Amino acid sequence: MNIFHVELKKTVDNSYDIEAGFSLEQNLISDIRSGLTGNIHKFAVITDSIVKDLYAEKITAMLKNAGYSADLFVFEAGEKNKTRRTKEAIEDAMLAKEFRRDCCIIAVGGGVVTDLAGFIAGTYGRGVPFINYATTLLAAADASVGGKTAVDTPLATNLIGLFYQPKKVYLDLAAWKTLPPRQVSSGLAETIKHACLASREFFDYLDTHMDDIQAFEKTACEHIAQENCRIKYTVVMQDERENSLREILNLGHTVGRAIETVSEYRLLHGEALAIGLAAEAALACHLGYMGSAEQDEMLCLLKKAHLPVAIPSYIDREALVQKLYTDKKVKNGKLRFVIQQGIGKIAEYEKGVYAIPVEEATARRIIMDMPVL
Ligand code: GLY
């Protein structure tokens, strides 16, 4: 039998800019005019039922006024709608409106919108360009940056998706003021996670400036947007596909993602993450990587951000232990956790390996010992 060798080595440049600032709609239009998306004239603006009135309709109208073809695609807000079914519905609506490969998708909204729209962009016509216009602190801190796109399934969050990088990300800090307090806190959980894994200095800043942040003071908002990007991208630029180092961005997420699913999305992502950070800090203490004074500092900061650090009474803790096995870090059937070494550093298990195997009995004990909310 003949063997045909298919030589497909390639060098890819997926570099892009993240622009943080206040009310960036006009910057988006100017960038498109200046060639951000090449010669594309057809735009699909994807948003949810909340952000539609606040930002997405305006951006769609501005695109049309600038001479582009633009259609708005809206789905019902909420993590429980970040599904294959919603993806299919939007794709079918785009097909009906004659969107083909010569289009660009603009995601306008929070993490649910940017995850879903980015996944659509990665598979529509085998891949069309997309732009994220992030309107929440959670999207700015994590979801809209880094190129992870996905939908949830009944089994767990983000199991089906792609690494697919946007052409540009806009972080509209003015939009944070429009968020309900629970959503602000949710975004702060990802921010606190970044401080815990990479920067004692940033942790202290958050502790000192929590009131300024919650009052949306300009310099404080700019600083946290900047630090979130710096910390996340220091990691992502070294390991885009999460082969090793990027696992550290999973801090708090082994328990966090599991409890988010078990709660059937009654907990927002950041609330679930805060409980996960608290549980995993208890695990770090148990394993000797963290002292109880540092654990207390963490719990205090999470509480200052109005985040939960205990497990709601409606959560079935045994179901939560079993749900830990849906985590992507599980290897050969063994649970693996990213563990904090004090505040501002992650423990390295072996050279280049950051997720540490933990016996189920240990994980169960930590979860069973968590206080009740
Ligand atoms: N949210 C974790 C990551 O982007 O890797």
Please tell me the pTM assigned to this model: 0.94
Integer Cα distance of 202 and 215 in angstroms: 18
**Residue 41 CA, ligand 1 centroid: distance in Å:** 32
**Residue 162 CA, ligand 1 centroid: distance in Å:** 12
**DSSP annotation string for 35-70:** TTTTT--EEEEEEETTHIIIIIHHHHHHHHHTT-EE
pLDDT at 365: 98
pLDDT at 142: 92
pLDDT at 126: 97
Cβ of 285: how many Cβ atoms within 10 Å? 16
Cβ of 207: how many Cβ atoms within 10 Å? 14
Q: What atom in ligand 1 is closest to the CA of residue 142?
A: 1
pLDDT at 10: 84
| Dihedral pair phi/psi, residue 199, rounded to 5° | -155, 105
Please give the average pLDDT of every successive group of 10 residues along the chain, which has 373 residues.
89 93 98 97 98 97 98 97 98 98 98 98 98 96 93 95 97 96 96 98 98 96 96 94 94 98 96 98 97 98 98 98 96 96 95 94 98 96
Q: Which residue has the tokens 């930590």?
A: 366
Query: In Å, what is the CA distance from 82 to each residue of 50, 78, 282, 287?
Result: 14, 7, 31, 36
**Residue 346 CA, ligand 1 centroid: distance in Å:** 15
Give the up-direction half-sphere exposure of residue 368: CA atoms within 13 A in the CB hemisphere.
Answer: 8
**Residue 371 carries which DSSP code?**
P
